[in-house]
């Protein structure tokens, strides 16, 4: 069980939205994490590299910055075997590359622009995510 | 310099939002998907909050004509619903349901100093590189590119 946290989640979502809007307003870029990381896999010589690296670094540092304010590192629970993290992670990398986006790029930026591609992509990955957890928890693992 | 610094600050806010929201916590993500078990609907509020702010904010930003530190807005222009979009998204959802990590949730989790996010992140990058290699090989083979066209 995890605690239902509607207020914290709404607040966190609003912060994600603010960062997404500011990235577009200052840099003219979509805040799709898969796309931003994907651009880092090209040559660092391209002028595009430094803002991407800085954005990702800011994200990595964020829990440490939070702990400087609150005194504690945020806690997470990973109820998944390492092999499943590796298999799942690989599929996430392949799928987001083929599908040109992830939760942030399609689910937030794309839907906010009412892009049909993003709406279809989001419905698709939400559906297969649900189905996967149903199968692993109630059919195979249940 | 200003571009790099502002990107860092925006990433910091984005990551803080992800951490607060619960998206970086696989237990919460997997419970969100587990409607018939230990369902935790919190993540609907993440999407809701992010979408309301972005939908309104984007409209205001696009009225500026161009971004503050760039010549124009870089926006996807494709409109077609192809098999790659749908198939790729389906594969992503399976991976997300297995690992509990999406790319946005995973990056700030890397800052927690635990091993699990490192394993998942390495696997994601391997998957991304695999697609790039296959794409390059296909582009280099005339028969394959003809098939694709």
- pLDDT tens-digit readout, B126-136: 999 999 999 99
Across the range B32-51, mean pLDDT stands at: 96
Q: Which long-range contacts (CB under 8 A, 24 or more apart) does A46-50 make?
A: A50/B3, A50/B4, A50/B7
Instruction: Give the list of residues 6+ apart from residue B101 with CB closer than 8 angstroms, or none.
Output: A85, A88, A89, A92, B26, B29, B109, B117, B120, B124
Asked if the model's pLDDT at residue B79 lies above 50, the reply is yes
Predicted local distance difference test score (pLDDT) of residue B147:
52
Q: Which residue has the tokens 């559906």?
A: A127
Pure H helices in chain B: 2-21, 26-33, 42-62, 83-99, 103-109, 115-140, 142-148
- Radius of gyration over alpha carbons of chain A, in Å? 17
Across the range B9-28, mean pLDDT stands at: 97
Asked if the model's pLDDT at residue B148 lies above 60, the reply is no
Predicted local distance difference test score (pLDDT) of residue A142:
56
A44 has a chain B CB within 8 A of its CB:
no
Q: Which of A19-28, B74-83, B119-128 has the lowest mean pLDDT?
A: B74-83
**Cα gap B113→A63, rounded to integer Å:** 10
- Radius of gyration over alpha carbons of chain B, in Å? 19
Q: Which residue has the tokens 């919460």?
A: B28
The pTM of this model reads: 0.94
Arithmetic mean of pLDDT over chain B: 94
**CB-closest option in A59, A89, A130 to B101:** A89
If pLDDT is split at 50, 70 and 90, which confidence band does B149 have? Answer: very low
**For the residues of B51-79, what is the DSSP string, one character each?**
HHHHHHHHHHHHTTSS-TTSSS-------
Per-position pLDDT tens, chain A of length 142: 899 999 999 999 999 999 999 999 999 999 999 999 999 988 777 778 999 999 999 999 999 999 999 999 999 999 999 999 999 999 999 999 999 999 999 999 999 999 999 999 999 999 999 999 999 999 986 5
**Cα gap B48→B10, rounded to integer Å:** 20
Identify from A3, A17, A100, A135 which residue to disrupt to test chain B contact, counting B C-beta atoms within 10 A and taking the largest count. A17
Predicted local distance difference test score (pLDDT) of residue B143:
62
**CB-closest option in B19, B74, B115 to A66:** B19
Q: Which two tokens stand for residue B142?
A: 């005339």
Q: Which two tokens stand for residue A27?
A: 């840099």
Quickly count: other Cβ atoms within 10 Å of residue A6's Cβ: 14
Asked if the model's pLDDT at residue B145 lies above 60, the reply is no
CB B94 within 8 A of CB A128: yes
CA angle B139/B145/B149 to nearest 5° reads: 135
Across the range B82-110, mean pLDDT stands at: 97
Smallest CA–CA separation between A122 and chain B, in Å?
7
């Amino acid at each position: 069980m995890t605690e239902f946290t509607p207020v914290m989640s709404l607040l966190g979502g609003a912060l994600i939205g603010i960062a997404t809007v500011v990235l577009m307003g200052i840099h003219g870029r979509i805040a799709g994490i898969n796309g931003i990381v994907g651009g880092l896999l090209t040559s660092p010589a391209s002028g595009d590299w430094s803002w991407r690296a800085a954005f990702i670094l800011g994200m990595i540092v964020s829990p440490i910055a939070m702990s400087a304010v609150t005194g504690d590192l945020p806690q997470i629970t990973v109820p998944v075997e390492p092999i499943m993290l590796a298999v799942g992670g690989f599929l996430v990398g392949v799928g987001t590359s083929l599908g040109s986006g992830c939760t942030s790029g399609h689910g937030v930026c794309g839907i906010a622009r009412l892009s049909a591609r993003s709406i279809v992509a989001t419905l698709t990955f939400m559906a297969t995510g649900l189905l996967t957890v149903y199968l692993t928890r109630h059919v195979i693992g249940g | 310099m200003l571009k790099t610094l502002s990107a860092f600050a925006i990433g910091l806010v984005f990551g803080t939002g992800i951490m607060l929201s619960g998206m970086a916590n696989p237990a919460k993500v997997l419970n969100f998907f587990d409607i018939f078990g230990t369902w935790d609907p919190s993540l609907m509020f993440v999407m809701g909050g992010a979408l309301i702010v972005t939908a309104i904010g984007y409209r205001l930003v696009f009225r500026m004509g161009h971004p503050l530190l760039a010549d124009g807005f870089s926006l996807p222009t494709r409109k077609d619903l192809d098999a790659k979009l749908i198939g790729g998204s389906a594969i992503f959802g399976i991976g997300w349901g297995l690992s509990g990590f999406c790319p946005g949730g995973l990056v700030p989790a890397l800052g927690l100093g635990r091993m699990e996010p490192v394993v998942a992140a390495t696997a994601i990058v391997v998957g991304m590189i695999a697609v790039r290699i296959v794409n390059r090989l296909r582009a280099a083979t005339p028969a394959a590119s003809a098939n694709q066209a």
